[in-house]
Amino acid sequence: MAGLFESAGGGSAAIALDELEASILRSLEVQMLELIGPGPGGDAGDDPLAALFAEGPSEAPADPALARLFPDAYGDPEKPDDAEAREAAREFRRYTELDLRARKREDALQVVRALDGLGGEGGVLKLAAADCLRWLGALNDLRLTLGVRLEVAEEDEQGLYDLPDTDERKPLVMAYLWLGALQESLLEAIAD
């Protein structure tokens, strides 16, 4: 293994991470957990009944990264004056965003827990098939967030490889590209 996922059979995967790679990935996921948070109105406390009937926010997040992770379900960005679509998007968000946030938190926590299992050192992680899907979600969320922060557009992604070492974005770009390689290798591993 060369720091990318390989098939472990039956939809499962394995990856060898050195201590630095594990630390960076864990740090990124912890930051993702902080970014996602419970969301507005999403902390129902210890009351499971209140959590079951809690309504989420009706407006899209102001943070562009959160808006990318929790996009409007209805509407055409080319037609921002479509009142009917905006109302449908608000209603959909109100009843789905808290669950989506919870799933994204669980995905990130799955990665953190698996990395914690390495005991702060590098090693080989073996993921069961169900865990692979959570990892895919967590890696995708990280990559989307970094893409927004870096203002990456699909047509200029190739330019990321040509950044000079003195560019202050270089560490984030390297993480963005590495996460893409991890994501792609995991997809290939579970498809085998």
Q: Is 40 helix (H, G, I), strand (E, B) or coil?
A: coil
pLDDT tens figures, 103-117: 999 999 999 999 999
The single-letter DSSP state of residue 4 is: S
> Which sequence spans correspond to the domains of the chain?
6-191
d(CA 73, CA 108): 23
Let me know how long the chain is: 192
According to DSSP, the residues that pair with 126 across neighbouring strands are 14
Where residue 1 falls among pLDDT bands split at 50, 70, 90?
Answer: very low
Q: Which of 48 and 160 is assigned the larger pLDDT?
A: 160
pTM value is 0.86
pLDDT tens figures, 54-69: 677 778 889 999 999 9
Q: Which of 190 and 86 is assigned the larger pLDDT?
A: 190
> What are the backbone angles phi and psi of residue 158, rounded to the nearest 5°?
-60, -30
Mean local confidence (pLDDT), 92-99: 88
Q: Residue 73 has what pLDDT?
A: 85
